Structure 1
Amino acid sequence: MNSLRASYDVVIVGGAMFGSSLAWWLTQMPGFDGTVLVVERDPTYEFASTSHTNSCIRQQFSSTINIQVSQFGVKFIKNFRQFMGDDPEVPHLALQSFGYMYLADTPEFAQTLLRNQKIQASLGAGTQHLSRDEIAAAYPFYQLDDILAGNHNQIDEGYFDGGTMFDWFKRKARHGGVDFISDEVVAMTKSPDGKTIDAVVLKSGDTIGCGTVVNASGPRAIATAQMAGVSLPVEPRKRYTFIFDAAEPLDGDLPLTVDPSGVHLRSDGKYYMAGCPPDEDPAVAFDDFTFDHNLWENKVWPAIATRIPQFERIKVINEWVGHYAYNTLDQNAILGRHSAIQNFIFMNGFSGHGLQQAPAIGRGIAELISYGEYRSLDLTPFDYQRIENKRSMVEQAII
């Protein structure tokens, strides 16, 4: 990295998936020639949500904008090298399209799935609404006595190598002139009228002037917002992941199955992956990664063995807990400019959807900074003003 400048046109607070996506997209904006600094407190990303992601992408949402965001994500994954300038060193990203399988055990949720399927299909998604008998015919390993219907999409829906995407966002952003530093923003100074942030103060003692500040702090978003005197309904919440081996593996791929119990599971190479929230789901401290070892025995394994009797004999071979940047208002992204502090921009509150949304939202915020508007995809449904107005953006397909 070159020596640190006294000021930057854009300072991005947080260098994980969203900060790095935005940094790279800014280098791709025609006409944008501003200086960009990414400040990341932990360059190992050991505890970042990015490092604990399950790297999945789906089009099975109920809101048009979430579907469209993921559809661009699919395009980006499938054309990754092309987006990265046809650099032969950039690997192709594979998308394992075994799809999500939402299972409904009540008439109400079955109707919700049917409504969602119609919205998704109208936007070109390949989601199918299936009866219990249709699910059983396609996937005979499920126990479906309590299931009424399900939604499944095997086209452009599954998992991919999110770590490689993240790595190349960083590499190409640096190549494009973005400065990355290992430091921490601990304070912000405002103009006398309070309408702009003039500078960020770093833990190292440096003060860096800024034209625009972007909050890309993941589960720490509320702390970054508070430095600007802004409230934000985003908090860290624990989400658990288990990798397990099966004594009797399935003959084919296991779709990412969203079980009514709240447990979800899928194929993961030669193993399987399962995840869930805890039954009690409070906000936790930023550094609280204490693992609840009772969760597997009391919740996850019983749900798995009930839904797939062939998984009666399974063994956990790896497990971890990460944090969702959980938007307590509506579990959707919070984007755009603050209404009063116009140079403070949000990229927050993704509530577990972050990795799949990073390509489209990184591009959108880069457009907002470069041109003052969204040009490729209108992201205004995610605007911060809905937080101020306490107006929820309804999304019925939250995991």
Structure 2
Amino acid sequence: MASKVVIVGGGVIGSSVAYFLRAADPTVEVTVIERDPSYARSSSALSAASIRQQFSTPLSIQMSLYGIEFLRSIGARLEISGEQPSIDLHEGGYLFLATPAGEHTLRENHALQTSLGADISLLDKEGLQQQFPWLNVEDLAAGAYGVSGEGWFDGYGLVQALRRKAQALGVWYVPADVVGVKRDRKKITHVLASNGQEYPCDTVVNAAGAWARRVAEMVGIDIPVFARRRSIFNVSSPAKLMGCPLLIDPTGVYFRPEGKTYICGTSPAADNDPDDLPLDQVDHNLFDEVIWPTLANRIPQFEALRVENCWSGYYEYNVFDHNAIIGHHPDVENCIFANGFSGHGLQQGPATGRGISELILNGKYSTLDLSSLSWTRVLENRAIVERNVV
């Protein structure tokens, strides 16, 4: 069992691992090295911060089912000296829309989701119009709506609550960048930081998010994870959309309520999605040419939209199959990877933190088996096909 664990990255994944480790075994010495303690450029703080059960693979569904359980009980779980954190969890549901071409896939996904306990309602065209009268259903065949267990929350609040609880449990956070490692054959012995310190370790966890590839290169591993910029737009509208969920249009454009306004976005075309674009720039053309026309078509009241604010954040994008890579690589026996969540890190963070803590402390998973997300599938070129990529 590892007695000294160094975690590279203190976002939701790294802080979740740290919290679960110390909660399970207070004798383990845990150090988190975080390059940006303000989290100003952290994906945990800049994402749309939502959770869904509407995936097409069993493990992703199960991870998010645990995720919503964790978020619902976060006050009691992460309480410090009687003070309970709040992340403003709003279970407004996801609404995935399908045209006739996508209806069969939607129904298959729904059958899997409900078989695992997800509370998802399947609506035909008439049902959509009745429940969401502000919706243009002309080209639609069906929709899947999360009645409970899906919604959005304060992502920055979540990572801060995890960090504070981990610190209260004795985790040491170091404000520095990781600049290298020392190795002895297939084992990392020390992590080198920009503050000039060397941190001895029995286990290293790469939870560096969008910077995971750079950390992996330090230990001699080529990981198929890249930083992909995603722009988010906060818009206002005179529209009154009663019971508005987080809506996923068949085009991939999404929006959800944010107080009295809305936030929206979409992924750029695959041939226009380079790596490491600067975060201080926003893709305004994507809004003008794709997002706004799509929203105005789907919700006629959205013809009048005004951009109030906008920002960009990184997806740690796994170009292999858009799913996380979790576990050891055979070339480095004491380095555990937790990278490439491709936009699902906030909702899968609790299950990942719990699972990695089990792997470190017990040598195996004891609750939810995450082994299908291991390096094995990447090295054997066996992609996990997720049909509900957003």
The interval holding the TM-score normalised by the smaller chain is: over 0.9
Partner of 2:39: 45
Which residue matches 1:4?
Answer: none
Corresponding residue number in structure 1 for 2:77 = 83
Q: What CA distance in whole angstroms lies between the structure 1 residues aligned with 2:304 and 2:200? A: 59
1:296 CA displacement: 1.5
1:63 corresponds, among 30, 49, 57, to 57
Alpha carbons of 1:113 and 1:166: their partners in 2 closer, same or farther (altered >3 Å)? same
1:186-201 equivalences in 2 (<5 Å): 186-191=179-184, 194-201=185-192
Cα offset for 1:265?
0.7
Tell whether 2:109 aligns with 1:116: yes
Query: Deviation of residue 160 (structure 1)?
Result: 1.7
Rounded to whole Å, the distance in 2 between the matches of 1:143 and 1:42 is 43
Look up the SS of the partner of 1:28 in the other structure.
helix
Q: Given the alignment, which residue of 116, 120, 128 partners 1:127?
A: 120
Secondary structure of the structure 1 residue equivalent to 2:134: coil
Q: Write the distance in 2 (CA, Å) between the matches of 1:105 and 1:215.
A: 40
TM (normalized to structure 1)? 0.94
Aligned match for 1:275, one of 265, 276, 282: 265
- Structure 2 stretches lacking a partner, 5+ long: none
Is 2:230 the counterpart of 1:235? no
Of 288-297 and 182-191, more deviation after overlay is shown by: 288-297
Change (3 A) 1:8 1:289: farther
Distance 1:12 1:119 in 2: 35
The corresponding residue for 1:362 is: 353
What's the secondary structure of 2:377's corresponding residue?
helix
Tell me whether 1:9 sits opposite 2:11 in the alignment.
no
After superposition, the C-alpha distances for 1:287-320 in whole angstroms (9 at most, x for unaligned) are 5542222222111111110000011111111111
> Does the CA contact (< 8 Å) of 1:8 and 1:37 recur in 2?
no
Could you tell me how far apart the structure 2 residues matched to 1:24 and 1:286 are?
Answer: 32
Match of 1:153 among 146, 160, 163: 146
Q: Which residue of 1 aligns with 2:243?
A: 253
Deviations 1:103-162 (A, max 9, x none): 11243x210110000001111111122211110111111111111111111211111222
Q: Please point out which of 338, 342, 366 is paired with 1:375.
A: 366
One-letter amino acid of the structure 2 residue matched with residue 65 of structure 1: L
TM-superposed CA distance for 1:248, in Å, is 2.8
Q: 1:204 aligns with which of 195, 198, 201?
A: 195
1:255-295 deviation digits (Å, cap 9, x = unpaired):
11111222101111111111111234433227554222222
State the alpha-carbon separation in 2 of the partners of residues 287 and 18 from structure 1.
Answer: 23
- Structure 2 distance, partners of 1:341, 1:335, is 14
> How far did 1:98 drift?
1.8
Deviations 1:148-186 (CA, angstroms, capped at 9, x unpaired): 111111211111222222111111111111111111111
Q: CA deviation at 1:391?
A: 1.1
1:381 is displaced (CA, Å) by 1.2
Deviations 1:231-258 (A, max 9, x none): 10000111111111112332x1311111
Deviates more, 1:180-189 or 1:81-90: 81-90
Identity of aligned residues (%): 39
For these two proteins, the number of residue pairs brought into alignment is 388
Deviation for aligned residue 1:195: 1.1
8 A Cα contact 1:95 1:156, kept in partner: no
8 Å CA contact 1:18, 1:358 repeated in 2:
yes
Matched residue type, 2:192: V
Determine if contact 1:81/1:92 at 8 Å carries over to the other structure. yes
2:28 is equivalent to residue 34 of structure 1: yes
**SS of match in other structure, 2:103:** helix
Equivalent residue letter for 1:213: V
Answering whether residue 317 of structure 2 is matched by residue 335 of structure 1, we say no
Indicate which of 336, 343, 353 corresponds to 1:352: 343
Alignment partner of 2:342: what SS?
Answer: coil
Contact 1:190–1:196 under 8 Å retained in 2: yes
Q: For 2:238 and 2:79, locate their aligned partners in 1 and report how far apart those are by CA, in whole Å.
A: 45
For the 8 Å contact 1:81–1:88, the answer to whether it is kept is: no
CA distance in 2 between partners of 1:286 and 1:292 (Å): 10
Distance 2:118 2:86 in 1: 23
CA-based RMSD: 1.6
SS at match of 1:150: strand
CA contact (8 A) 2:325 2:339 kept: yes
Equivalent residue in structure 2 for 1:176, among 169, 181, 184: 169
Rounded Cα–Cα distance in structure 1 between residues aligned with 2:252 and 2:148:
24
The answer on 1:314 being equivalent to 2:305 is yes
Give the Cα separation in 2 of the matches to 1:360 and 1:294: 36
**Structure-2 separation of matches of 1:125 and 1:297:** 36
5+ residue gaps in structure 1?
1-6
**Aligned counterparts of 1:301 and 1:283: Cα–Cα separation in 2:** 23
Deviates more, 1:368-377 or 1:203-212: 203-212
